[in-house]
Amino acid sequence: MTVRIGVITFPGSLDDRDAQRAIRIAGAEPVALWHGSHDLDGVDALVLPGGFSYGDYLRSGAIAALSPIMTEVKDAAASGMPVLGICNGFQMLVEAHLLPGGLIRNDNQHFVRRDQRLTVENSSTAWTSAFEQGQEIVIPLKNGEGGYIANEDTLDRLEGEGLVAFRYAGVNPNGSLRDIAGITNPAGNVVGLMPHPEHATEPGFGPDTASAMRSGVDGLGFFTSAIEAVVRVAA
**C-alpha radius of gyration, the chain, whole number:** 16
Residues 148 and 173: their CA atoms lie apart, in Å, by 11
Choosing from 87, 95, 145, 202, the catalytic residue is 87
Helix-then-strand count for the chain, H and E:
5, 11
Residues 112 and 98: their CA atoms lie apart, in Å, by 26
How many Cβ atoms sit within 10 Å of the Cβ of residue 108?
11
Residues 197 and 140: their CA atoms lie apart, in Å, by 7
Dihedral of CA 54/4/190/162: which sign?
Answer: negative
Choosing from 95, 145, 198, 202, the catalytic residue is 198
How many Cβ atoms sit within 10 Å of the Cβ of residue 32?
12
DSSP for 142-209, please give it: EESS-EEE--HHHHHHHHHTT-EEEEE-S--SS--GGGEEEEE-TTSSEEEESS-GGGSSSTTSS---
The answer to whether 198 is a known catalytic residue is yes
Choosing from 35, 72, 145, 196, the catalytic residue is 196
The answer to whether 87 is a known catalytic residue is yes
The answer to whether 161 is a known catalytic residue is no
Report the SS3 class of residue 45: strand
Residues 196 and 14: their CA atoms lie apart, in Å, by 12
Annotated catalytic sites, by residue? Answer: 87, 196, 198
